[in-house]
């Protein structure tokens, strides 16, 4: 029969080891959680590219017409067809990065940003054309969240997003993605073309600069 003291020592060591593993796991979870959307996006994009390459390999070369032209990149096509019948209010939908957020009108930016994306009141609205500027938090809720612009930097020219505004659906194609200082307020200026300017902070977790994504209305 084993010494009761030895059994206690073994149990004590086992408990310490378990607590240590739990502490390490919790630490990794807490510090890694903010970067989960970035990792998830990277893995999904990698898998999508592998699937495309696999399909290309499996397709016999003889089935491809010699005079065929390249197809439109998937990122330039709307991935969803948002309906307005079941929606109340105004919404910004960016399928590529999983954003589906209410657009809030208010003179109080903090109040608006706590409830969705803020349409900056000194700018236009989709139905009036010109430049509609919409700001959103880069990080606010535990990721992944459809209510933040966490992955806004992943949008590139050709990508599409949609706005539901007063019961009507507007499609936009991204034309520009850039970083500007907070003092560059010219991004809010009126424009001849009907555009939407999406604004958030950059880098993530700071307010040093502004990440600007511009989308032009698709007629």
pLDDT in tens, 27-66: 765 665 566 666 666 665 555 444 434 443 443 333 333 3
| CATH number of the domain to which 86 belongs | 2.40.260.10
- Which residue among 96, 119, 137, 162 is the active-site one? 137
Q: Counting every residue, how long is the chain?
A: 219
Q: What is the pLDDT of residue 61?
A: 37
Residues 83 and 190 occupy one common structural domain: yes
Residue 91 known to be catalytic: no
pLDDT tens, residue by residue, 133-173: 999 999 887 766 899 999 999 999 999 999 999 999 999 99
Q: Does some domain include residue 56?
A: no
Residues 80 and 144 occupy one common structural domain: yes
- Which residue among 97, 201, 211, 212 is the active-site one? 201
Alpha carbon separation from 43 to 23, 36, 37, 46, 121 (Å, rounded): 27, 11, 10, 5, 38
Q: Does some domain include residue 170?
A: yes
Residues 103 and 211 occupy one common structural domain: yes
pLDDT tens, residue by residue, 112-121: 999 999 999 9
Query: At 69, is the pLDDT very low, low, confident or very high (cuts 50, 70, 90)?
Result: very low
Residues 85 and 191 occupy one common structural domain: yes
Which range is least confidently modeled, 45-59, 65-79, 87-101?
Answer: 65-79
Residues 30 and 110 occupy one common structural domain: no
* Domain assignment of residue 115, given as a range: 75-217
Residue 162 known to be catalytic: no
Closest C-alpha among 167, 170, 178 to residue 195: 170
Q: What pTM was estimated for this model as a whole?
A: 0.68
Query: At 187, is the pLDDT very low, low, confident or very high (cuts 50, 70, 90)?
Result: very high
Q: Does some domain include residue 36?
A: yes
């Amino acid at each position: 029969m084993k010494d009761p003291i030895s059994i206690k020592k073994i149990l004590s060591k086992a408990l310490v080891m378990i607590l240590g593993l739990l502490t390490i796991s919790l630490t990794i979870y807490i510090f890694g959680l903010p970067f989960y959307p970035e990792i998830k996006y990277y893995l999904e994009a990698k898998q999508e590219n592998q699937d495309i390459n696999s399909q290309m390999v499996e397709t016999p070369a003889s089935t491809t017409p010699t005079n065929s032209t390249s197809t439109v990149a998937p990122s330039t096509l709307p991935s969803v067809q948002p309906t307005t019948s079941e929606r109340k209010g105004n919404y910004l939908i960016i399928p590529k990065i999983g954003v589906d957020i209410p657009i809030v009108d208010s003179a109080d930016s903090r109040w608006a940003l706590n409830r969705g994306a803020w349409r900056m009141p000194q700018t236009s609205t989709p139905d009036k054309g010109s430049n509609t500027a919409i700001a959103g938090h880069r990080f606010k809720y535990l990721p992944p969240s459809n209510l933040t612009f966490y992955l806004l930097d992943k949008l590139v020219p050709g990508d599409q997003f949609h706005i539901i505004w007063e019961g009507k659906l507007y499609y936009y194609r991204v034309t520009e993605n850039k970083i500007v200082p907070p003092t560059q307020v010219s991004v809010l200026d009126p424009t001849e073309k009907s555009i939407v300017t999406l604004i958030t902070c950059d880098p993530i977790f700071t307010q040093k600069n502004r990440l600007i994504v511009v989308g032009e209305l698709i007629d």
